[in-house]
Chains A and B, each alone.
Chain A
């Protein structure tokens, strides 16, 4: 006890000294176009210590505070008094820092020294809070909670706040009426809103119906299609944006294989409502399928059998037993499809034509009209719709669910469907599969023919062209996705671990905020980041850093969900046993928890990677000439009419994704086999 207490004191003391030494070299501020690395290579070694003397009077006070805490750590005063002093020092430090950065020099760009200084005081606060017992758990836990909270505020909540402020503040003064005025002044507002709701509603209904059909066939049909149909759920994961859009153009467009080649028509009907709805339904039905198959699997056949033995007919059993149990699942699938549809950017931008929706209008407001105010106002409209839907889904439908979707499936014998219904559903789903396969096939075929619709001669010219103009962006994307994936997985896992194993003040908000990314359309994240990180203390614009940050916070819910599911499988008493045997929380996490959830970590890693590779809606606002990404290059080529290279690039991405998924299956199967070997 005494020895470990001394260790903590030493940690503060040594930590303060190390930080001090770092601050001698690392600068506090940097010019907008430079970072720490550039300053140091230029030979500018005037670090924070010199930096803050003239430019940052409030931050300059932080340095003496740091020294005081170092001395305080070693001084022999009462523990209670010492902790109070530490609390005061850390809070004062954070306040001074914020005063300096937000109020005194909001226009100066911060760099490494400033971040180190801030997190030093945050660490001190974490240490103090955990030792005072305000946050239970040790300093590792309290440090993680505080740091992740700060990051969530900066990279999820703050950009939203900036958008809100942007829509109601005109030339420095608050004008709440501006929001309404901007929207009414813009002639297309009502049409866009109507289009968006029409699109999302249709897609929600269709996705749910098709997802339900697939779920019934996979779970309850007498045909053995299970394995084959399961693969269906993986499709949207390995599909870059635009693939389905391109395929629809190839099949049903002006020079479409079906419309023009078979029917001999020259029609444009695919651009607009029809095209978007078809593309989005193809994209989102698999998600509805995943949700509903979980629900159907956990329906206990005994309930139905009980109903039959009590003398009710099949139809009556369905109406009174199955339908009520299924309803929450259907609502879930519908609402999540609606969110995805509204947030989707790739399909509407490609197939929209005159049919403009919120996500694309926001993009065009920024890119075409340079009207940030309009973008912010439209963004708020979109955000309020998706957020409302998300909250309904999470708190209203979520609570009404009678079956646990995440729990272990009950392995009872499932009653097959009635014959007539079975044949109809199997027929319908096979047709849908044929359509899907044809569409994907057309994109891959399209990448090997000279000019789709006109000249079907085999060629590799598109791939040659890809090697010339696409390779750089491909590797940039690979690199950034590979960097962000482990960060995403780690943070997601940490959040899942903290939320599922600890109680702390503000935990509900913490969890909600971290899952919020799912309900914030990428377009909004994009404009939020542009408005927030293009100026001021947190200037990241044009850097690879901002793209990585964007990937991490957009994809975190994936990591959280897989982490949560894995942690639910682990008996908490394993961790408690480790703790009572003398291990720290960190040691327990490393030696007990992590080895047991390895497969989940790995799948979180791969999905984070794949989602980063295919991201478009947010990053399109953040890329520059230096940091081109695969998806933005593809969009550029499509807009330039070069569909050949676009399909070639898409094919390369699909293959990349399949390799990533393949590696994941290989590894998770291997590790689970190893675990089984132990478990037998």
Chain B
């Protein structure tokens, strides 16, 4: 029997609850990760995302519920029998071993022959772009290199599922961007089912096939990156993913896919997720880049600039209006920043608005 962890598989969470003493870290969570996809668990710290990842690895045991891997119930299986490997936030490279010893660790546990291990380690190093660094000590490497070794160590076992626990949080911004792309390409090329925990929404949007947004131990919304950004189901998701203005409006009537709402004196047709009842107040999400800022007197609502900040690619304004404070990202007018106190007219891109609850 070949002892490698052959073939990746799909992963299913069924009504998982995890309590630490009286604290419920994960509350009745169910979701499925399809074979070969990368799913990110996204949420603020303490939302339960890391606990979910650790339950997949087997480092924590659910209080109730079942976890299935490729149809097999692995809820009670010890972590070292699961064929699921993990890239840790701190990389967790063994400090007393060199790169070769680190990567070959799991293969040695499986009692592979030396020559086979050599071939496999070389291959893994090639894949992560660290050719020839076998004999380096773990702590003689740069942060990015350590990250790659950790990745190679997890990949070399050909796991059924690969887990990432905020793997890029210790890297500087530029390197983080680069590693993001590399991890994503590698994952797609190898077709490994992956679960990726992060609190960085831009990372989640950039890397994931699907995103599970967690809030306070429950799942807030599951969806693809575009879906979550353009059609967040609730206030929390709208606010957590990207910047969002949430304003109160009144629903006049529903016309097929669109709802006619009254917003600050204007009537707008906007998409919605769950059907609201006519005549009720609704909350509308407006992304800052979907507001058009023009000199006073044009169509739309009027307001006065409270904060004005030059950001290079755009100008970032906060405008006080009758609907409250609105955040506006103006990519149109480059270089010229309107000063504080200027009166302006604001209008919205109708199809970009979305009704949340």
Chain A residues close to B by CB (< 8 Å): 1, 3-4, 133, 136, 138, 571, 573-574, 576-584, 587, 591-592, 595-596, 675, 677-680
- CB of B229 to closest CB in A, whole Å: 32
Are A679's CB and B139's CB within 8 A? yes
- CB of B163 to closest CB in A, whole Å: 8
- Contact A583 B105, CB 8 Å, known A577-B88, A679-B139: yes
Contact of A596 among B79, B90, B95, B140 (CB under 8 A): B95
Are B92's CB and A596's CB within 8 A? no
Chain B hits for A579, CB < 8 A: 58-59, 79-80
In the assembled complex, 25 residue pairs joining A and B whose CB atoms fall closer than 8 Å, in A order, are A574-B92, A574-B94, A576-B57, A576-B59, A577-B86, A577-B94, A579-B58, A580-B84, A581-B153, A582-B80, A582-B83, A582-B157, A583-B106, A592-B94, A595-B96, A675-B95, A677-B137, A678-B98, A678-B137, A678-B139, A679-B95, A679-B137, A680-B137, A680-B139, A680-B140
Contact of A580 among B61, B77, B85 (CB under 8 A): B85
- Tell me, in angstroms, the Cα distance from A656 to B67 when the chains sit together: 59
Contact of A678 among B58, B86, B138 (CB under 8 A): B138
Q: Which 6 A-B pairs have the closest CB atoms?
A: A581-B106, A577-B92, A573-B92, A678-B137, A573-B88, A583-B109
Chain A hits for B77, CB < 8 A: 1
Are B57's CB and A580's CB within 8 A? yes
- CB of B130 to closest CB in A, whole Å: 18
Are A580's CB and B96's CB within 8 A? no
Chain B hits for A576, CB < 8 A: 57, 59, 79, 86, 88, 92
- Tell me, in angstroms, the Cα distance from A133 to B77 when the chains sit together: 10
Q: CB-defined interface of B49-92 with A at 8 Å, one 1/0 digit per residue?
A: 00000000111010000000000000011111111111011101
Nearest-CB residue, chain B, relative to A598 = B96
Chain A hits for B153, CB < 8 A: 577, 581
Chain B hits for A592, CB < 8 A: 94
- Contact A582 B95, CB 8 Å, known A133-B76, A678-B137, A680-B140: no
- Tell me, in angstroms, the Cα distance from A677 to B85 when the chains sit together: 29
- CB of A570 to closest CB in B, whole Å: 9
- Contact A1 B81, CB 8 Å, known A582-B106, A596-B95, A678-B137: yes
- Contact A571 B94, CB 8 Å, known A580-B84, A587-B109: no
- Tell me, in angstroms, the Cα distance from A4 to B80 when the chains sit together: 11
Chain B hits for A680, CB < 8 A: 137, 139-140
Q: Is B340 engaged at the interface, CB distance under 8 Å to the other chain?
A: no
- Tell me, in angstroms, the Cα distance from A595 to B97 when the chains sit together: 10
Q: Is B188 engaged at the interface, CB distance under 8 Å to the other chain?
A: no
Are A678's CB and B92's CB within 8 A? no
Q: Is B110 engaged at the interface, CB distance under 8 Å to the other chain?
A: yes
Nearest-CB residue, chain A, relative to B79 = A579
Most B C-beta atoms less than 10 A away, residue of A580, A596, A675, A677: A580
Most A C-beta atoms less than 10 A away, residue of B76, B96, B163: B96
Nearest-CB residue, chain B, relative to A132 = B76
- CB of A592 to closest CB in B, whole Å: 6
- CB of B71 to closest CB in A, whole Å: 13
Contact of B90 among A1, A573, A581 (CB under 8 A): A573
Most A C-beta atoms less than 10 A away, residue of B81, B82, B153, B154: B81
- Tell me, in angstroms, the Cα distance from A292 to B76 when the chains sit together: 47
- Contact A578 B105, CB 8 Å, known A573-B90, A678-B137: yes
- Tell me, in angstroms, the Cα distance from A133 to B58 when the chains sit together: 13
Are A581's CB and B157's CB within 8 A? yes
- Tell me, in angstroms, the Cα distance from A375 to B43 when the chains sit together: 65
Are A581's CB and B85's CB within 8 A? yes
- Tell me, in angstroms, the Cα distance from A571 to B165 when the chains sit together: 15
- CB of A581 to closest CB in B, whole Å: 4
- CB of B274 to closest CB in A, whole Å: 40
Are A675's CB and B96's CB within 8 A? yes
Chain A hits for B81, CB < 8 A: 1, 4, 582
Are B96's CB and A571's CB within 8 A? no
Chain A hits for B78, CB < 8 A: 138
Chain A hits for B58, CB < 8 A: 579-580
Chain A hits for B83, CB < 8 A: 582
- Tell me, in angstroms, the Cα distance from A672 to B80 when the chains sit together: 31
- Tell me, in angstroms, the Cα distance from A579 to B57 when the chains sit together: 9
Nearest-CB residue, chain B, relative to A676 = B139
Most B C-beta atoms less than 10 A away, residue of A136, A138, A573, A577: A577
Nearest-CB residue, chain A, relative to B77 = A1
- Contact A136 B61, CB 8 Å, known A582-B80, A582-B110, A679-B137: yes
* Given A580-B84, A581-B109, 18 extra CB contacts under 8 A: A571-B92, A573-B89, A576-B79, A577-B94, A577-B153, A578-B105, A579-B58, A580-B57, A580-B79, A580-B80, A582-B81, A582-B157, A583-B105, A583-B109, A595-B96, A678-B95, A678-B98, A679-B137
- Tell me, in angstroms, the Cα distance from A666 to B163 when the chains sit together: 43
- Contact A596 B85, CB 8 Å, known A583-B109, A584-B80: no
Are B138's CB and A580's CB within 8 A? no
- CB of B230 to closest CB in A, whole Å: 36
Chain A hits for B109, CB < 8 A: 581-583, 587
- Tell me, in angstroms, the Cα distance from A592 to B61 when the chains sit together: 23
- CB of A83 to closest CB in B, whole Å: 12
Chain A hits for B84, CB < 8 A: 580
- CB of A170 to closest CB in B, whole Å: 47
Chain B hits for A577, CB < 8 A: 86, 88, 92, 94, 153
Chain A hits for B92, CB < 8 A: 571, 573-574, 576-577
- CB of B95 to closest CB in A, whole Å: 6
- Tell me, in angstroms, the Cα distance from A583 to B140 when the chains sit together: 25
- Tell me, in angstroms, the Cα distance from A133 to B80 when the chains sit together: 15
Chain B hits for A677, CB < 8 A: 137
Chain A hits for B57, CB < 8 A: 576, 580
Are A581's CB and B105's CB within 8 A? yes
Chain A hits for B137, CB < 8 A: 677-680
CB contacts under 8 Å to A, within B102-137, are: 105-106, 109-110, 137
Most B C-beta atoms less than 10 A away, residue of A138, A582, A596: A582
Chain A hits for B154, CB < 8 A: 580-581
Chain B hits for A591, CB < 8 A: 105
- CB of B349 to closest CB in A, whole Å: 46
- Tell me, in angstroms, the Cα distance from A578 to B97 when the chains sit together: 13
Are B96's CB and A596's CB within 8 A? yes
Nearest-CB residue, chain A, relative to B153 = A581
Are A580's CB and B95's CB within 8 A? no
- CB of A132 to closest CB in B, whole Å: 9
Chain A hits for B96, CB < 8 A: 595-596, 675, 678
Nearest-CB residue, chain B, relative to A584 = B80
Nearest-CB residue, chain A, relative to B87 = A577
- CB of B219 to closest CB in A, whole Å: 24
- Tell me, in angstroms, the Cα distance from A592 to B105 when the chains sit together: 10
Chain B hits for A678, CB < 8 A: 95-96, 98, 137-140
- Tell me, in angstroms, the Cα distance from A625 to B85 when the chains sit together: 60
Most A C-beta atoms less than 10 A away, residue of B58, B80, B84, B140: B80
- Tell me, in angstroms, the Cα distance from A679 to B90 when the chains sit together: 16
- Tell me, in angstroms, the Cα distance from A595 to B95 when the chains sit together: 10
Chain A hits for B110, CB < 8 A: 582
- CB of B175 to closest CB in A, whole Å: 21
Chain A hits for B59, CB < 8 A: 576, 579-580
- Tell me, in angstroms, the Cα distance from A564 to B83 when the chains sit together: 31
Chain A hits for B85, CB < 8 A: 580-581
